[in-house]
């Protein structure tokens, strides 16, 4: 698949990925990062949740305490932030766009649905917002269970949130249905090629 080189673009392109948890958003983002490490870079968010599995501070997230997070809010360091789950804060740092732009790469955001709608509103035409849609809520539950890193209680919270998130699909520039993985990657590649 041919991608337009980033040097031909007048400005950095920004892709905002959103989906109910378990839909395959991280899988889509990883696909782009692995296929084109020279073109794309992930914006690293701040979170107050604890690292899961092999996650490393400064790679998947900046893991901070609630006090540190609040200090960053006071310092106006976030473009947007949300209490995505009860007691768990996540925020997009203004500095991340600058950092990735300086690397000459395109920015990938992996944020919750509300955060994605806010980011698109703030960034306008510079950004393409992409909703990763699961084939069904039942399959969403299966994927979260198979992934094996989320407690049954958190899975229930995420499923409960998914139904309302699906209603916001209409606010996104593009929708990718992640049924068969290869087909979802093809849809994604088409979107990237259009820009």
Nearest approach, Cβ of residue 67 and ligand 5GP (Å)? 18
Q: Which of 25, 72, 105, 120 binds ligand ADP (CB under 6 A)?
A: 25
Nearer to ligand 5GP, 10 or 88 (CB): 88
Q: Which of 12, 13, 16, 23 binds ligand ADP (CB under 6 A)?
A: 23
Shortest Cβ contact with ligand 5GP: which residue? 115
Question: Do 181 and 24 contact (CB within 8 A), yes or no?
Answer: yes
Q: In the window 138-157, what residues touch ligand ADP (CB under 6 A)?
A: 143, 146-147
- Laid out side by side, the sheet with 40-42 consists of 40-42, 106-110, 14-18, 127-133, 174-177
Between CA 35 and CA 51 the distance in angstroms is 25
Q: Using CB atoms within 10 Å of the CB of residue 143, give its burial: 0 to 12 exposed, 13 to 18 middle, 19+ buried.
A: middle
Residue 22 touches ligand ADP, criterion: CB under 6 A: yes
Contacts of 96 (CB under 8 A, 6+ apart): 43, 44, 45, 107
Nearest approach, Cβ of residue 8 and ligand 5GP (Å)? 29
Nearer to ligand 5GP, 13 or 91 (CB): 91
Nearest approach, Cβ of residue 11 and ligand ADP (Å)? 27
Between CA 144 and CA 173 the distance in angstroms is 26
Torsion (CA) 181, 187, 189, 193 in degrees, nearest 10:
180
Residues within the interface to ligand 5GP (CB under 6 A): 21, 45, 49, 80, 82, 84, 90-92, 110-112, 115
Residues within the interface to ligand ADP (CB under 6 A): 19, 21-27, 143, 146-147, 178, 181, 184
């Amino acid at each position: 698949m041919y991608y337009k080189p980033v040097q031909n673009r007048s400005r950095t392109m920004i892709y905002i990925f959103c989906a109910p948890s378990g839909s395959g958003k991280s899988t889509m983002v990883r696909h782009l990062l692995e296929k084109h490490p020279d073109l794309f870079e992930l914006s690293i968010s701040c979170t107050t949740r604890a690292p899961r599995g092999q996650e490393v501070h400064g790679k998947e997230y900046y893991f901070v305490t609630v006090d540190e997070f609040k200090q960053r809010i006071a310092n106006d360091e976030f473009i947007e932030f949300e209490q995505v789950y009860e007691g768990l804060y996540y925020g997009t740092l203004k500095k991340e766009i600058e950092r990735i732009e300086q690397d000459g790469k395109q920015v990938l955001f992996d944020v919750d649905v509300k955060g994605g709608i806010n980011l698109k509103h703030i960034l306008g035409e510079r950004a393409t917002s992409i909703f990763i849609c699961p084939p069904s809520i039942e399959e969403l539950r299966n994927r979260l269970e198979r992934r094996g890193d989320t407690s049954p209680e958190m899975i229930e919270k995420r499923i409960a949130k998914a139904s309302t998130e699906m209603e916001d699909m209409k606010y996104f520039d593009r929708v990718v249905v992640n049924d068969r993985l290869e087909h979802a990657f093809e849809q994604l590649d088409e979107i990237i090629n259009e820009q």
